[in-house]
Amino acid sequence: MAAPRELLKDALPLVTGDAGLESTVIEARGRRIGGTYFGLVAGPCAVETLEQTLETARAVAEAGATMLRGGAYKPRTSPYSFQGLGSEGLAILREAREETGLPIVTELLDPRDLEEVAETADVIQIGARNMHNSRLLTEVGRVDRPVLIKRGPGASVDELLLAAESVAKEGNERIVLCERGIKTFEPRTRYTLDLGSVALLKRETHLPVIVDPSHAAGRRDLVPALARAAAAVGADGVLVEVHPRPEEALSDGPQQLRAEEFAAVAEEIAAVARLLGKQIG
Ligand code: PEP
Ligand code: MN
């Protein structure tokens, strides 16, 4: 049985509060997510080569993205899949930032890599698989970098809020939450995008809440519709995977948008966000 609301509120002193559409604003290199600022985070699933990353970074910057995402350390279900370029991938992300000015969002998998990842990341991503890793949450709670926490596919809203509280408790309250789909009985999409929980989170927490339609859908044809819906439900941003040649991608090829597809949907998302009184951050 679910714990009574009052008990949970007591357990979440830092991340809950009277939330409406307005939320805390998180800033990285002058780009903002939260409050009236809508974040457009875009980029490849994984950093594969310098050329692929720069090509994507230029394209998403041109299309109005506010931050560049890309995994250097990749959590993979199979140990035989591409695991990411690691340090070399971080260096490529720095080049992409140098050229486009976009802040970098990249995932931290292991506390042992924290110092290295924090040197490059403007926003540290904690992936869905690691949302329950309390040691990792404690560590990122002690660094001076915004943290983006992705909801685990089997995690409840309260568990996500408790993960955020674990970071905030260590002193770092620059946190963005991300809904990226949960496991349900429905096999036709990779996960089920839980927009109801986004609406709920917007009422329960002052932290910005963004939506990742790419991992939720698992297929590119559904991404634009889900991204528009995310903006309409009141999310503070979206995180979208983009690859110049998705058919050659080393991970998550089927769900990555081509650059021109991202440009088209970015315009639509911005229009929906403006309708709700927001501006692109
Ligand atoms: C990702 O953002 O590339 C990723 C691995 O996502 P998730 O942690 O949501 O599966
Ligand atoms: Mn991915």
The residue whose CA has the least distance to atom 4 of ligand 1 is 127
pLDDT reported for residue 9: 76
Pull the structure tokens for residue 63: 């299309």
The encoded tokens of residue 73 equal 């350390």
In three-state secondary structure terms, 15 is coil
Average pLDDT taken over every residue of the chain = 96
Give per-residue pLDDT as tens, 153-172.
999 999 999 999 999 999 99
d(CA 128, CA 187): 19
Going by C-beta distance under 8 Å and a sequence separation of 6 or more, which residues neighbour residue 92? 47, 49, 50, 53, 54, 72, 85
**Ligand 1 and 150: CB distance under 6 A:** yes
Q: Calculate how far, in angstroms, residue 46's C-alpha sits from the geometric centre of ligand 1.
A: 10
Structure tokens at 176: 């963005």
Ligand nearest to the CA of residue 249, numbered in listed order: 2
> What confidence score (pLDDT) does residue 66 get?
98
Which helix (H) or strand (E) element contains residue 270? helix 259-275
pTM of the model: 0.96
Ligand 1, atom 9, lies closest to the CA of 128
Atom of ligand 1 nearest to the CA of 127: 8
**Which long-range contacts link 106-110 to residues 24+ away (Cβ below 8 Å)?**
106/69, 106/70, 106/71, 106/72, 106/73, 107/71, 107/72, 107/73, 107/74, 107/75, 108/73, 108/136, 108/140, 109/73, 109/74, 109/75, 110/73, 110/136
| Whether the Cβ atoms of residue 257 and residue 231 lie closer than 8 Å to each other | no
Q: Could you count the other beta carbons within 10 Å of the beta carbon of residue 37?
A: 21
Encode pLDDT of 53-66 as tens digits: 999 999 999 999 99
Instruction: Judge if the beta carbon of residue 70 lies within 6 A of ligand 1.
Output: no
pLDDT by residue (tens digit) across 111-124?
999 999 999 999 99
Q: Which ligand is nearest to the CA of 130?
A: 1
The ligand minimizing its distance to the Cα of 251 is: 2
181: CA distance to ligand 1 center in Å? 10
CB atoms within 10 A of CB 13: 11
